[in-house]
Amino acid sequence: MAEFRMPSLGADMEAGTLVEWLVKPGDHVKRGDIVAVVETQKGAIEIETFETGRIEKFLVDLNSKVPVGTPLAEIWAEGEAEPVVAAAAPPVTPAARPLAAPAPLITPSPPVVPSAVGMRASPAARRLAKERHIDLSTVTGSGPAGAIIYADVERLGAAGAAPERKRAPGLDLNAMRVAIAAAMARSKREIPHYYLEHQVDVTACEQWLTAHNTTLPPDNRLLFGALTIKAVALATRRFPAFNGFYRDNKFEPAQAVHIGVAISIRGGGLAAPALHDADRISLDELMASMRDLVQRTRAGRIRGSEMSDPTITVSSLGERGVEALYGVIYPPQVAIVGFGKVVERPWVIDGAIGPRSVVTMTLAADHRVSDGHAGALFLAEIGKLLQEPDKL
């Protein structure tokens, strides 16, 4: 038997609220399946299981806020028999006890279903009843043909609980801002950043992209950003000191390369979820993953592993028209690579001046882990990889 636990979705996460099960007891799940949605400061995040087996039972009620590590469900391997009742197995309640005030942060997700056939209730009445946990079958309707309207529910609930804070699941930009503030303040407090800048001729990339994209429908075309992510991913293989985590006063290099892609969110938010195994997948796969990631991030549906996995971050404000950006490292990562806008510049090639497409790359890295010399070689390696886009 395995336990499906509340995962840590970032260095600063202590607890999360279980808001939705996407499976039910008895369902078969395999490693990587999305089984639940957890609400954190970063928004609603889909959680995958690392176990394969059958969901045996749920251990935590919906809308409970529980600490990281709390078992949420039991998953039994195929064919696993009911265990002999453990002698002193304590009930799971201690761990599952809600952390904070019992009032859930968001409204429960089961839709209000009319409990009597033919009951009529307006959308406004249904919404209010749901917010106040009022069973509509207990409400007398005063609307047309006895329909329950807003005022009927309001009257009933007036003496009861105060209306809860309304909040759509998904992105909460205010909470996200708090999370960004905490992570960035911690980064600047703890990480001794050093910064390097390097200009690279990317004319070859532009020419290659133009040729590559000519015959492709718009949905399949590659963007320059895909090349930069791939180049950074490949460069970390030779320079592992930029790929990993700094924890407990030591650097832990990461085996895989999961690139955190900085994605801005309309209305003023920022997330940098992981593009998994960016060094091993093809450019087309990388581009498709990137499109999917951007779309889901902006819709507030990021998977748990994507939040906690990035081993290095790539940020690009290119289209916004700045030529260079100096990143703040997302702890516990140790490096962030920035790409500015691609600009036309006079450039010396073989002793003659000609127009070339040039991009300014920057590196902000953790001086506890690497030094400027290594950083310079790392940036140069990325630049070199970008000279041969067909090999990326």
Partner 1 sequence: MKQETVKAQMIETTYREAAKEAIRDAIKRDERVFLMGEDVGRYGGCYAVSKGLLAEFGPEKIRDTPLSESGFTGAGIGAAMAGMRPIVEVMTVNFSLLALDQILNTAATVRHMSGNQFGVPVVIRMATGAGRQLAAQHSHSLEGWYAHIPGIKVLAPATLEDARGMLWTALEDPDPVLIFENVMLYNMSGTLAADAGPVDIDKAAVRRPGHDISLITYGGSLWKTLEAATSLAAEGIDAEVIDLRSLRPLDDATIMASVAKTRRAVIVDEGWRSGSLAAEIGMRIVEQAFWELDAPIGRVCSEEVPIPYPRHLENASIPQAPKIVAAAKAVLGRA
Give contact residues for partner 1 (rule: CB under 8 A). 122-127, 143-145, 147, 149-151
Closest approach of partner 1 to the CB of residue 216, in Å: 24
Q: How far is the CB of 114 from partner 1 (least distance, A)?
A: 16
Residue pair 331/312 in contact by the 8 Å Cβ criterion: no
Q: Least distance to partner 1 from the beta carbon of 143, Å?
A: 6
As a whole number of angstroms, the distance between CA 112 and CA 392 comes to 52
- The smaller minimum CB distance to partner 1, of residues 124 and 256, is found at 124
Q: In which element (H, E) is residue 57 found?
A: strand 53-58
Query: Between 158 and 348, whose beta carbon lies closer to partner 1?
Result: 158
Minimum distance from residue 60 beta carbon to partner 1 (Å): 29
Residue identified by tokens 């127009």 is 355
Measured from the CB atom, the residue of 51 and 131 that comes closer to partner 1 is: 131
Query: Which residue, 146 or 354, has its beta carbon nearer to partner 1?
Result: 146
* Residues 357/344, Cβ–Cβ less than 8 Å: yes
Closer CB to partner 1, 126 or 230, in the complex: 126
Among 174, 113, 119, smallest CA distance to 152 is for 119
Q: Give the nearer residue to partner 1 in terms of CB position, either 75 or 148.
A: 148
- Nearest residue (CB) to partner 1, 74 versus 152: 152
In whole angstroms, give the CA distance from residue 375 to residue 312.
13
* CA–CA gap between residue 72 and residue 168 (Å, rounded): 23
Would you list the DSSP string of 323-382? S-------TTB-EEEEE---EEEEEEETTEEEEEEEEEEEEEEETTT--HHHHHHHHHHH
Report the Cα 110 to chain-centroid distance in Å. Answer: 25
Question: What's the min distance (Å) between Cβ of 117 and partner 1?
Answer: 20
Both tokens assigned to 136: 């509509």
Single-letter residue type at 176:
M
Report in angstroms how near the CB of residue 118 gets to partner 1 at its nearest: 17
List beta partners, residue 281: none
CA triple 323-324-327, angle to 5 deg:
150
Residue closer to partner 1 (CB basis): 121 or 171: 121
Distance CA 361, CA 28 (A): 47
189: enclosing H helix or E strand: helix 173-190
Nearer to partner 1, 81 or 145 (CB): 145
Q: Using alpha carbons only, what angle is made at residue 83 by residues 81 and 85, rounded to the nearest 5 degrees?
A: 150
For residue 389, CA distances in Å to 64, 212, 232, 282, 360 come to: 49, 10, 12, 12, 17
- Shortest approach of partner 1 to residue 145 CB, angstroms? 7
**Which bin fits 134, alpha (ψ -120 to 50), beta or left (φ > 0)?**
beta
Closest distance to partner 1 from the beta carbon of 168 (Å): 11
CB of 267 to partner 1, least distance (A): 17
Q: Which helix (H) or strand (E) segment is 208 a member of?
A: helix 203-213
In the bound complex, what is the minimum distance in angstroms from residue 171's beta carbon to partner 1? 19
Q: Which of 231, 194, 221 is nearest to 359 (CA)?
A: 231
**CB nearer partner 1, residue 154 or residue 201:** 154
For residue 2, give the H/E element and its range.
strand 2-5
